Amino acid sequence: MTRRPLRFGLSLGPDGAEPLIRTAQDADRFGLDLLGVRDEPYRRGSADALAVLAAALAVTSRIRMLPAVACLPLRPPAALAKAIATMDGFSGGRAELGLGAGASPAGVEAFGGRPAPGASAVAALEEAVQVVRLQWSDQGGLVFGGAHYRFAAPQAGPAPRRRIPIWLGTDGPRGST
């Protein structure tokens, strides 16, 4: 069994009335390892998680950050991959990616997305990981045609300088394998 060091982090709700950037700076200063920003764009009064991440990465120096987790029905995976790779490059390798199928189907639908039910959500999540990895590959002539996502790029990328970790926000038996 491989032992991994224990890491500590903070989950930040994107409440637009809270001092989000100051909280991120405090987490960095106090030595936390991770900061996750919940992606709940359909919630009234919430700030955009990706904008919070970009701003927080710009004013911190060591803490790793990720959307916890990005709401895939509202964020196309290829565009999300490009945003995270850009943040990772600008921050010196401190951005990570969290993906989820959408915790609030009603919220996703109200915000113009199409939630995927049950097993379909798991399949969509699996496809999204494939699309993200393709976008990060920096290869040419890429094509992916799944049931949930399509991706075609004469040239993907740019490729991140490192293999960016992908966290999955799942539950149930297929989420634990």
Residue 68 inside a domain? The answer is yes
For residue range 154-164, list pLDDT tens digits in order: 888 888 999 99
25 within domain boundaries: yes
In a domain, 79, yes or no: yes
The rounded percent of the chain whose pLDDT value lies above 90 is 77
pTM of the model: 0.92
In a domain, 145, yes or no: no
- Asked if the structure places residue 92 within a domain, the reply is yes
Q: Angle at which helices 49-58 and 77-90 pack, to 10 degrees?
A: 10
Query: Is residue 143 a part of any domain in this protein?
Result: no
Whether residue 57 is predicted with pLDDT greater than 60 in this model: the reply is yes
Over the stretch 13-36, which tens digit does the pLDDT of each residue have? 999 999 999 999 999 999 999 999
CATH number, domain of 28, equals 3.20.20.30
Q: Is residue 57 part of a domain?
A: yes
Whether the per-residue pLDDT at 174 is higher than 60: the answer is no
Q: Which domain holds residue 76?
A: 9-115+162-171
Is residue 125 assigned to a domain? no
Q: How many domains does the chain have?
A: 1
